[in-house]
Each structure stands twice: as structure tokens, then as C-alpha cells.
Structure 1
Amino acid sequence: MQGFDFIVIGGGMMGAPCARHLAKAGHSVALIAAPEPAVKADWGGPFGSHFDAARITRRVAADADWSLLSRRSIDRYRDLEARSGRTIFHEVGALMAGPEDGPLAGFTEGFRRVAEGLSDAPEILGTCEVWERTGLALPEGSVASFEARHGGWMDPRAMREAQQALAVRAGAALSAQAAVAREDRVVTLADGTRVAGEHMVVATGPHAASDGLLPRRPAMKVWARTIAFARLSEAEGARLADMPSVIWVPEGWDHDLYMLPPVRYPDGHLYLKIGGQVDSPRIRSDAGMRDWFHGAGEAHVGERLLAEMRALMPGLVVEATHTEPCAVVWTETGFPYIDGAGEGVTVLCGGNGAAAKCGDELGRLGALVATGAGLADEGYAADFRAVWDADAS
């Protein structure tokens, strides 16, 4: 049985960069990374919401710590691209908008405060200015930050491939299969192989509360979310080529939505993607996770999302639409859990719907915690401590 200093279980947005940072620091590392299934309906292993072509990336956030996590990661995108040969970052711009008045005015005030405090600060625009610049019809009374630089979208598949490839180049051993059990310092893989490590980092995303790989259960809620896609013609895609990524609050909504600009997916077509939901079902088990990802999401949710897409983009011409499943983890703290979970085990999970863009920094912080370093000097107000089920109120 081969032994390592560290075993990182989970090769997604947090786990893969954690393995890279550990290997780069000179540790022997095994990265256990289940592959993306070729056919979802036939797959019985773990699913990742990062099995996708696009995620919004931006410096602006309603919270200063989330902004710092993003900025530090975005600053490393081009280096990751240069060293891996993958195209990760598409700098098309990012717009974040909210209402000046009403229940969500605090959300707007928060991201505006963060935006105005940034170096190379983004522009602050009103509803009419956004329409003139982008052709997007925000609700009256909206205020937006517009990052022409540093924002846009990133390709999570390319990011995962880059991080894994660079981890291997730094000396990590990659196993492209799922971990099915952990006993003390030994992990059993799907093919029966057993791997030993002095320390485990469990970065299994929405599965972390139900896959049994942690010695105790993190207090987090996993929500079954539906995302909707609108397929575009090549001509319509070209017309919208300068569209930024968008986060906004539709008229009468009590939460924000997000939309990606035209992105070419593996089937060769261009799609707009929209998501954002709070009234979704809970996922409470691995069986429930498989059932959800074997489906296509909820049609009625997709209809509501697509209606808001059309309201935001008057004149949009769509060839076809469809929905797909997604899963989002919300922690008790609103921040990822990066903490000791027991003797020789670190937890690294809890994206709160915002972690894909800043996975490299989260992975770096996970590597620091796993090696016994604290995060007190890293410049964050949050301590990223985990809350466990027994401790949750």
C-alpha cells in the first residue's frame, strides 16, 4: 500500500488547487478525483456542479472577504493558463446590480461599498446607463457596478484540468476515481485500491455531509437547484458577443439571479445560462443526490428563470431552451469550512454558491490549514471555522 504525506479527496474547484499547493510546497500528495461521467444517468458516483463550461467571475461582492478570495484567485488565472496551456478566464466584463431601495438595498450597499474600495475601481452605473452601455433592461431604481476588466466568466472544466495537471507536474499522484470509504489514515477507492496518508483533506463539495469520509458531519444545507439554458443561433451569439456576465435583482424578487453571456458548450451550440433560486428542495443523502443529477431539474423553475432572461434582454431570439440540475451548499457561517475535522483530517467545503471563481485561493488556504498553519495573518475577517451538526443551533 502506497503512503503519502497528504491525501486530498475531491478534485474539483477546491480540492485540486489544494493538492497543487501542497505538492508545490514539497509534500507527497495523492489526489483522489472522481471523473466527470460521460452519461449522467449511468453514473453512480459523486457528482460535481463544476462539471460545466462557465461560471461568473468577478472581484465585486457584497462581502469584503468574498471579494478578497476572488481577487487573489483572479490574479493567478493568467499564470495558471500559461503554465497549463488551458484557457480558463474570459475577460468579457461583469455587472452586479441591485435596488437602491427596499428589502435588498443592503445587498446593493454592500457590493457598492466593496466596489468603490477596490484599486482600479469599477464604474457605478444607473439603470439608463446600463441600458445604453449593454442593452440590458434592469428594473428602474437599480444601481450596478460594471467591471470592464477583471470580470467575466471562467471555465470550471478547464480550471479543474489545469489544477490537476499542475498538481501532477509538481509531484502529486492522481487517481481518477471516487473514494468510497475512509478508515483512519487509509482511503479505499472505487476499484478496491487502498491508499494511506498521514493527513486527509476532504473536499467533496455537496457530498461532504453525507459520504461518510469525515469523522463528523458538517452543518450545511445542500439545495437542489435548477438552471436554465437558452440556445442561440450563431448570428444571435455574434450580436451579443460583447455581453458581460450579469448578477441582478428582478422586479419584485427577494433574491438575485445570475446570467452568463453566450458560451459555446461541448455540443457545439452557444447558450445563455441563467440561475438563482432559494425555494428549492433539500438534498439529504447520496441517493438523493444521484436521483437529482439523473434528472433535468424542475421545468416550472426554468420557466420563471427564462421569463426573467427575456425581460432583461428585450428582443432576444432563442432557438430552444432546456433545464439541468445543479446543487448548492450553504454553510452555517456563509463562508467555506476550512478547518480541522479530527486527528489527521481537514475539511475543505461549502461554496455557498460563490466559490468556483475563487477555488484557487480556497485551495491554498486549505493547504495551509492541513499543514498546521493558521489563517490569522491571511487578511480575512472570517476564520473559516467549521460548524458541526452537534454544535448547530
Structure 2
Amino acid sequence: MYDLCVVGAGLIGSAAARHASLQPNIRVCLVGPDEPKERSMESPREIFASHYDESRVTRRSDPDPIWATLAQKAMDRYRDLEATSGVNFYSETGCMMAGPPEGQFVTNTRETVTSQNTQHDYLTPELLRQSFPHLNLPDEDVAIYETKNAGYINPRSLITAQKRIARDNGCDVINDIVCEISQHHSGAPLMSLLTESGQKIEARRVLIATGSFTNFRKLLPPGQEPDLKLLPVAYAKVEVSAEDAKRMGNMPSMLYRGGGAPHWPKDYPRLPNNLFGVYLLPPIKYPDGKFYIKSGNLHGPDSPQVSTVAEVKAWFCTKGVTPLATKLASMVTAVTKGIQTLSYHGDHCIIADTPTRYPYIDLVHPDLGVAIGGNSISAKSSDEIGRIAAMLVLYRKWDSELPAEAFKLKLKDTSKSKL
């Protein structure tokens, strides 16, 4: 019998399990599948995750002060997490948010870093060109540049660190997929979980952190389906030489939102108002020993959606040199100067978007909670999201300076689909 069972062993779930394991006299288990050795349509496996990668942008600033606060709380614990686990996952390369000075992205980010006293430099067009001569940005653009306490994290390694500490604190980590959760009463209420392998788990309380796959298994009470949009997004990894990687050694992580430059590819996927939404990471050495610049497009409210587990699986299992990967790779050569592309390939992930634009961290009933809906930017903040969720489910109290109302669970209106 567990006091808390966390379902979903990704970034948020593993963080929640670690924080719960730190509580005195609390017995915790974390249930979720390990990363598969391969992803193929022929495999019977249907459950995947978006953290199968070596890099995610991390920064303390954001155009939205709530997301900025979540990031700051989580990032304050990065180095302690590394020291305690013995796993390095954080590279402090800095991060730059660039775009036209009058654009909403730069304007809102500047307001946030100013109001929250986030250490940063404001780069005018001239300073931007002087600081990063290897970048090929529009002449009139500016940037908010976090020189410290920003960069990128390795999501695989972050999960390893969270699990290692949780295990050391007595948490049972179970490599399985939960297919059904129910509640029954034999005196006190009890949560029962059934896994795909047939294992039965009992716990007093359950936290669901299953991301894009939440609605594809019987995890929530009948008729309660979280309002999530599942957005298929792609990214490209462009291989560069060790020499080019060294030459670009001061390159920070970068996010761009704006009109772009005349030489940028015309067929690149655009945001509303024909804006470019691009992110780039500095050259990173991957497990294959090669250096890659990772790039992808920022999504918008009108991005295409998927709605079935078959569609999600097909998207996760599509990799390689696709037409979309070619477009994304072309942006790397457009934004950088003098970089020789040795090879490139693409990969896919799924974003679970909420109508509130914040993750759902809420109680479905007193013994069942959720922490879902990453909205594409939760990786860096996952430790704080997991902490808030774990404390909420364990103690039924909101433990954050941020307003609980912002994270309330929204359910789909299923009546419309029946008309």
C-alpha cells in the first residue's frame, strides 16, 4: 500500500515522485515506461514521450510572469539536483530572446525581466551584431540576453537525476504503463491501478502526470476528459563539424519571434500574422559523438492537431529526412553564418496544449490529482510543477505564491460532440 502513486515517469512525474519521496513517513511509487529502444509502427507499444532528446531551452525569463516564476523556482534547484544525484543535466550557455523591438515577444519579455529583476543585457541591433557575428538576424532586431542562469537542459538526464534521488529516498520505480485507475471504498477510500502487464497497485492517493496520453487510457473518472489540444511538432538536428562547433562556442540558446530577414526561407512554417517563430540551440555533442544544432518552429493557436492514439503513435514513429525536417534545417543555415551542414534529420514530439496556456495542477477529487498540459515550455519548469502537484495531492493544500486558479483543470464539453 502506497501513500502516493505517481502515474507517468516523464519530466513532471519524476519530479513529483522525488519531492514526495522527501516527505517524512510517505511511501511513494512512480509508474511509467522507460524509453523504448526503437520507435516503429510494427511495435505493439502505443505510449511514447517527448523527452527522448538531449536538449531543451531553459531560461528564467518569459513574456508571461507566471511561466517565468515557475522556471525560476525550478532552476534554483538545478545545481543541488546535480550534486545530490551525481547526474549533470544543465549547461549554462545563456539564452537570448530576439525579435523586433516593438514586437510583443520582446516587449513582454523585457517587462517581465525588469519587474522580476532578472539579470539580463538588452542588446541593440549594433550590440547584437557585435556580440554574435556568426548569427544572421534582421538588421533592426534586438534581444533580451540572459548571460547567466540560462542555457539548456538534457531532459533524459534530468529524469535520470529525479529517479535516482527518488529511489534513494525509498520510492519504488516501476517500468510499466497504467491502463486503468479506479476508486473503491472498504472503510477508507482506496485507489486501485491496473497496468498493462497485469500488475495491480493500491495507493491512498494518485497523481496523474501522463501528458499527451492522458485521455487514451481509463485514468480519470467516466465523463471527465481534460481539455487538451495535442499538437504535432517537429524539430531538426543539423550536424556540424567540431571546428564549427568550437567557432560558435559562445552561442546561447535562442528564441526568435518576428518578421524574419529577407533571406530566410519563404516556405518555413509561420505563426499567425506571417511571423517566424524559431528556436535554436548551440552545437551540442550527442551520444553518437557528433555535434548538432537543434532547431524547431514555435507553435501557434492554429497549429494542426491529432486526436487519436493511432495518430499520435504514427507521429512519434516518423523520423529521418522528411520535407518538414528539410525546411527546419534550412532555417539553421539561414540564421547562422559560415556553417557547413554535414547532415541533418528530423524528429517529432507532441505538445499537450491547454486553453488556459498553463499546466493543469489540480485535484479531480480529494484522492486524485493531475499535473498535465506542458504547453511546449514546461520542461525547464518541470521540477516546480511536479513539486506543487505532489504537495497538493499529498496534503490537499496549494503550496505556491502563484494563484491556484491559473492552474485549474478544464474539462472538455462532450455534449457538443454528441449533437
Tell me which residue corresponds to 1:254: 275
Counterpart selection for 1:219 from 220, 227, 247: 227
C-alpha contact 1:198 1:344 (8 A) present in aligned 2 = yes
C-alpha contact 1:226 1:297 (8 A) present in aligned 2 = no
Question: For 1:368, what is the secondary structure of its paired residue?
Answer: helix
Structure 1: state its 5+ residue gaps. Answer: none
C-alpha contact 1:130 1:137 (8 A) present in aligned 2 = no
Cα 1:283–1:78 change in 2 (3 A) is same
Cα 1:349–1:297 change in 2 (3 A) is farther
- What is the Cα deviation at residue 221 of structure 1? 0.3
Tell me which residue corresponds to 1:208: 214
TM-score, normalising length: structure 2:
0.88
Tell me which residue corresponds to 2:188: none
Count of residue pairs brought into register by the alignment? 388
Question: For 1:290, what is the secondary structure of its paired residue?
Answer: helix
Tell me which residue corresponds to 1:384: 407
Tell me which residue corresponds to 1:133: 131
Structure 2: state its 5+ residue gaps. Answer: 184-190, 261-273
Cα 1:159–1:43 change in 2 (3 A) is farther
Tell me which residue corresponds to 1:239: 247
Tell me which residue corresponds to 1:51: 52
Tell me which residue corresponds to 1:153: 152
Tell me which residue corresponds to 1:299: 322
Tell me which residue corresponds to 1:187: 193
Deviations 1:131-154 (A, max 9, x none): 211222222332211111001000
Counterpart selection for 1:229 from 207, 216, 237: 237
Deviations 1:53-96 (A, max 9, x none): 00000011001110110011111000000000000110011001
C-alpha contact 1:139 1:250 (8 A) present in aligned 2 = no
Cα 1:201–1:138 change in 2 (3 A) is same
Tell me which residue corresponds to 2:344: 321
Cα 1:227–1:303 change in 2 (3 A) is same
Deviations 1:214-236 (A, max 9, x none): 22211010111111110111111
Question: For 1:283, what is the secondary structure of its paired residue?
Answer: coil
Tell me which residue corresponds to 1:274: 295
Tell me which residue corresponds to 1:265: 286
Deviations 1:172-229 (A, max 9, x none): 1110122122232111122211101111111001111323312221101011111111
Question: For 1:208, what is the secondary structure of its paired residue?
Answer: helix
Aligned identity (percent) is: 29
- What is the Cα deviation at residue 112 of structure 1? 0.8
> Counterparts in 2 of 1:277-356, with a 5 A limit?
277-278=299-300, 280-296=303-319, 299-356=322-379
Q: Distance in 2 between matches of 1:181 and 1:233?
A: 48
Q: Distance in 2 between matches of 1:192 and 1:359?
A: 30
Q: Distance in 2 between matches of 1:167 and 1:360?
A: 13
| Higher Cα radius of gyration | 2
Deviates more, 1:320-329 or 1:75-84: 320-329
> Counterparts in 2 of 1:76-155, with a 5 A limit?
76-101=77-102, 105-119=103-117, 121-135=119-133, 136-155=135-154
Q: Distance in 2 between matches of 1:345 and 1:224?
A: 28
Q: Distance in 2 between matches of 1:298 and 1:344?
A: 46
Deviates more, 1:127-136 or 1:57-66: 127-136
C-alpha contact 1:244 1:261 (8 A) present in aligned 2 = yes
TM-score, normalising length: structure 1:
0.93
Code of the aligned partner of 1:189? T
Code of the aligned partner of 1:149? K
Code of the aligned partner of 2:160? E
Tell me which residue corresponds to 1:197: 203
Code of the aligned partner of 2:217? D
Q: Distance in 2 between matches of 1:383 and 1:250?
A: 28
Q: Distance in 1 between matches of 2:181 and 2:404?
A: 33
- What is the Cα deviation at residue 126 of structure 1? 1.9
Cα 1:300–1:251 change in 2 (3 A) is farther
Tell me which residue corresponds to 1:25: 23
Matched, 1:360 2:383: yes
Q: Distance in 2 between matches of 1:49 and 1:170?
A: 27
- What is the Cα deviation at residue 117 of structure 1? 2.7
Tell me which residue corresponds to 2:186: none
Aligned CA-pair RMSD: 2.0
Question: For 1:275, what is the secondary structure of its paired residue?
Answer: strand
Tell me which residue corresponds to 1:9: 7
C-alpha contact 2:97 2:256 (8 A) present in aligned 1 = yes
